[in-house]
């Protein structure tokens, strides 16, 4: 018996954006199957349905129906695989009631939706690679993911959260790659969460996170389409909400916050070098100011002899102890950064440059701070900007202050205490139940491929094992290394 394609499609594409509808036109029932987020629904209603409804000709078979439809790319198909691939590319499948074994594939893809001139990823900019970012419209964002991941295994699950806002929240994952346990964990936390208003995906992030009291972000937040796509293909689960241009995903590790999508568009040697620079920048940003306080308060003996004279000279007229001097400058820099972020782009850039130069020069001339501290604080601020993810950059800015306080109290011993507490806190953190600092703890040597440095693609063909993906390999490395020799005789 021939298979009922209408039923087969329903059981194959198990995603909330897959729609099947029925229309009665001229006493004949016509069935439609399509993915709503990637088709032009206005084209379907105003052109396709309208032309069929106003037609006075009979259409007892598919060829007669085909002659009534004013579209160029139309074909009759009964191949399920071809139909599924076409549907996820933006086609609509039309069937007559008496014949569910074949139908018409009509190209109604909305090719321009989502790709606009004003949806670049402003906060995660990269020189090389795609520039497309998400927008505030949920359907547009799902459309972007459908275009980037052309697979029938891409799943959307939609929920309505917020008793007053009635916000649409969608869970996205790739079936067959993502571990079902991660999907179940996120699904259970979203369903059980109760709140009256959801204005951004970051609220969902704070509600479902494993530890809401930690300053470290435990879920990735991105506005880049390519980063979200890479997360899904790695085996992570993504969450989108209407009204938010940011996608959150997990489980993640702390090292993913220092990896830029641009790393995968550069040769692996350069990408690894730049990633190491980011780690050094983070270490300098966190420790530079506390070390300055510790050395000038307790550990004069560690200052090299050539530097001792310039330091004494620069601090000769400063009336404050090192702790007050450092806190004053750190507060000034963070105040300038916050003020610049809240102002229009051009005004904010001007404020940052002029404010930094004018206030820094004035503070030194007035004897409120030393030249050396100005250099240290400025380099610390610049180093924090090397972190690709804004949420982790904020965490780094915050961590300096408790370390500065410990350095003022107990010097180098206080900094050691702070680092031990910080490492202990990181050891306890989990992202959706997965360890936060894999591959350091638990130690997994094979996972170093894309953590500290970026290995070449020939050595990083596996997905991260900590995600426990159902399909470990991305591709067959032996096939990628095959070479063919062509001899012209």
The predicted pLDDT at position 61 comes to 76
Angle at 449 between CA 443 and CA 454, to 5 degrees: 135
Tell me the per-residue pLDDT of 295-305, one tens digit each, with 9 for 90 and over: 999 988 888 88
pLDDT at residue 489 above 70? no
At 188 the pLDDT is 94
8-state DSSP, 47:
I
Angle between helices 268-297 and 390-410 (to 10 degrees): 30
Considering only 152-156, 251-255, 351-355, 420-424, which range has the smallest mean pLDDT? 351-355
pLDDT band at 476 (very low <50, low <70, confident <90, very high): confident
Q: What does the DSSP 8-state code read for residue 257?
A: G
Q: List strand residue ranges (DSSP E) for 74-230, in order.
A: 74-77, 91-96, 99-107, 154-161, 167-174, 220-222
**Is residue 342 scored above 90 in pLDDT?**
no
Residue-averaged pLDDT of the chain: 84
Identify which has the larger pLDDT, 121 or 155.
Answer: 155
What are the strands, taking DSSP E only, across 200-331? 220-222, 237-241, 247-250
CA angle 29, 33, 35 (to 5 degrees): 150
Q: What's the pLDDT band for 15 if we cut at 50, 70, 90?
A: confident
pLDDT of residue 359: 74
- Smallest Cα–Cα separation from 239: which of 286, 291, 292, 182? 182
Distance CA 252, CA 227 (A): 13
Distance CA 54, CA 25 (A): 9
What are the tens digits of pLDDT across the range 70-116? 777 888 888 888 888 888 888 888 888 777 778 888 888 876 555 55
Average of per-residue pLDDT across 243-265: 91
| Cα angle: 10, vertex 12, 15; to 5 degrees | 75
Q: What letter would DSSP give residue 411?
A: T
pLDDT of 326 strictly over 60: yes
Highest-scoring range by mean pLDDT, 132-136, 169-173, 319-323: 169-173
The average pLDDT across 367-395 equals 86
How many residues make up the chain in this entry? 489
What pairs with residue 13 in β-bridges? Answer: none
Q: What is the largest CA-CA distance in the chain?
A: 99
Q: What tokens does 101 get?
A: 């074994």
Q: Rounded distance, CA 118 to CA 121, Å?
A: 9
Q: What is the pLDDT of residue 2?
A: 43
Q: pLDDT band at 478, cuts 50/70/90?
A: low
Query: If pLDDT is split at 50, 70 and 90, which confidence band does 1 have?
Result: very low
- Which DSSP letter does residue 166 get? -
Decide: 153 and 12 in contact? Cβ < 8 Å: no
Question: What average pLDDT does the segment 463-487 reach?
Answer: 74
Q: What is the mean pLDDT of residues 187-214?
A: 90
How far apart are the C-alpha atoms of 294 and 322, rounded to whole Å?
A: 9
Residue 268 has pLDDT above 70, yes or no: yes
d(CA 272, CA 40): 42
pLDDT at position 383 is: 86
The mean pLDDT value for 258-279 works out to 90
Whose tokens are 């306890």? That residue is 428
User: What is the average pLDDT across 26-44?
Assistant: 83
Beta strands in 264-366 (DSSP E): none
pTM: 0.85
Among 10, 39, 16, residue whose Cα is nearest residue 168: 16
- Confidence (pLDDT) at 351: 64
Greater confidence (436 vs 49) lies with: 436
Segment 442-454 mean pLDDT: 81
- Contacts of 20-24 with CB under 8 Å at 24 or more apart are 23/49
Would you give the end-to-end CA distance of the chain in angstroms?
54
CB-CB contact of 142 with 17 (8 Å): yes
Segment 457-479 shows an average pLDDT of 83
Q: Determine the average pLDDT of the residues in 436-458.
A: 84
Query: What's the pLDDT at 378?
Result: 84
Query: Are 464 and 235 a contacting pair, CB within 8 Å?
Result: yes
pLDDT at 120 (0 to 100): 67
The pLDDT score that the predictor gives to residue 251 is 94
Q: Check residue 349 and give its pLDDT.
A: 59
């Amino acid at each position: 018996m021939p298979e009922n394609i209408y039923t087969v499609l329903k059981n194959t594409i198990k995603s909330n954006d897959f729609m099947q509808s029925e229309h009665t036109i001229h006493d004949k029932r016509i069935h439609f199957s399509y993915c709503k987020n990637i088709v032009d629904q206005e084209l379907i209603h105003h052109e396709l349905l309208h032309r069929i409804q106003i037609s006075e000709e009979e259409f007892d078979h598919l060829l007669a129906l085909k002659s009534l439809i004013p579209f160029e790319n139309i074909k009759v198909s009964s191949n399920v695989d071809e139909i599924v691939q076409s549907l996820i590319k933006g086609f609509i499948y039309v069937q007559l009631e008496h014949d569910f074994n074949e139908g018409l594939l009509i190209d109604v893809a909305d090719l321009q939706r989502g790709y606009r001139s004003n949806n670049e990823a402003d906060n995660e900019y990269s020189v090389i690679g795609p520039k497309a970012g998400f927008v505030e419209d949920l359907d547009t964002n799902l459309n972007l993911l459908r275009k980037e991941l052309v697979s029938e295994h891409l799943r959307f699950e939609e929920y309505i959260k917020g008793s007053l806002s009635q916000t649409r929240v969608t869970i996205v994952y790739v079936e067959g790659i993502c571990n079902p346990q991660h999907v179940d964990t996120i699904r259970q936390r979203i369903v059980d969460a109760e709140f009256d208003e959801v204005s951004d995906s970051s609220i969902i992030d704070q509600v479902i996170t494993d530890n809401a009291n930690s300053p470290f972000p435990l879920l990735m937040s991105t506005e880049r389409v390519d980063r979200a796509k890479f997360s899904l293909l790695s085996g992570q689960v993504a969450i989108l909400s209407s009204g938010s241009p940011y996608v959150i995903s997990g489980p993640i590790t702390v090292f993913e916050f220092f990896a830029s999508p641009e790393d995968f568009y550069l040769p692996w040697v350069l990408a690894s070098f730049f990633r190491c620079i980011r780690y050094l920048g983070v270490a300098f940003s966190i420790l530079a100011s506390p070390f300055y306080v510790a050395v000038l308060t307790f550990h004069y003996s560690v200052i090299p002899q050539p530097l001792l004279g310039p330091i004494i000279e620069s601090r000769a007229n400063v009336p404050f102890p090192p702790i007050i001097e450092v806190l004053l400058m750190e507060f000034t820099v963070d105040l300038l950064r916050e003020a610049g972020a809240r102002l229009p782009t051009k005004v904010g850039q001007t404020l940052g440059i002029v404010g930094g130069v004018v206030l820094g020069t004035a503070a030194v001339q007035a004897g409120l701070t030393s030249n050396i501290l100005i250099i240290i604080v400025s380099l610390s601020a610049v180093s924090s900007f090397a972190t690709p993810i804004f949420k982790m950059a904020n965490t780094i800015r915050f961590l300096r202050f408790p370390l500065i306080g410990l350095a003022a109290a107990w010097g180098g011993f206080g900094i050691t205490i702070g680092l031990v507490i910080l490492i202990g806190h990181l050891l306890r953190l989990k992202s959706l139940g997965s360890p936060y600092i894999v591959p350091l703890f638990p130690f997994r040597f094979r996972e170093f491929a894309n953590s500290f440095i970026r290995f070449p693609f020939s050595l990083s063909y596996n997905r991260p094992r900590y995600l426990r993906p159902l399909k470990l390999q991305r591709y067959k490395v032996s096939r990628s290394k095959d070479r063919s020799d062509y001899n012209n005789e």
